[in-house]
Chains A and B, each alone.
Chain A
Amino acid sequence: MESPDRLTVLNPTGFAPKITRKELAARLDTLDGKTVYLVDCRFDDSDVFLKQLQAWFAEHMPAVKTVFKPISSVYLKDDPVTWKEIQARGDAAIVGVGH
């Protein structure tokens, strides 16, 4: 029985959706000879950053083909056209720069 100096109160938090675990895509054995898309989220000079990343690959891993690819609009919008292009023509993706 509840003691008189103990209160019962309601939990103020909302209802969290269930989490459905998703598996990662299969990783590549090597990047050599592969096409890596550098996906520019078009936020806070991310294009300048990714072009430097592209330069790094050219210097250090020239066997990797990189494609600089800005998303079609703002990062707030899904961009299935770009995602399908990467799926069809790319082997991997690096997305940046999130903050």
Chain B
Amino acid sequence: MDLTNLLAISLGAILVNNFILVQFLGICPFMGVSKKMDTAVGMGFAVIFVMGIASAFCYVVNLLLVYLDLEFMQTVAFILVIAALVQFVEMFLQKTLPSLYEALGVYLPLITTNCAVLGVALLNVQEGYNFIESVVYGVTGGIGFLVAIVLFASIRERLEFSHPPKCFEGFPIALITAGLMALAFSGFSGLEVWPIQ
């Protein structure tokens, strides 16, 4: 396995092509659950977990679809796999790790409609990643989500005490803050991993 390649994929997913701030995938939960730090962290970890597993499962499902000549059913198949997976993860956690289940609470079922999860499955196919690359891309994409949402939640906690113009209160100022973060992240766009000789 080419480690440099995996490193390049990870760096891309976490910083250069951050799922939220550069590719605009998963904005809804990013905006919705970033008001408090602890829920943001919980959501971040849940997303890493689900994105990793979803990448693995969707890779296998895609092989099956290609084998059956049903590639046009990709979207339908992937969303069903993800929905079933989230349901399964929920039941599994409830039985084995009730404390983590309690902590994640309502955010777990919400992950089904997180476009980052479906996005990563579709992007894996588009980029033609193999199994290991897909899983690495999924997990590191989730880590990118965690990094962005934790940074954003910590800014937003401060934002509560600031006084923007009245019409900017609440959502608009949060969007503009996210915009400034996206500007900062676009500074990473020159990063690259060179192969070690």
Mutual binders A and B: no
> A interface vs B, CB < 8 Å?
none
> B interface vs A, CB < 8 Å?
none
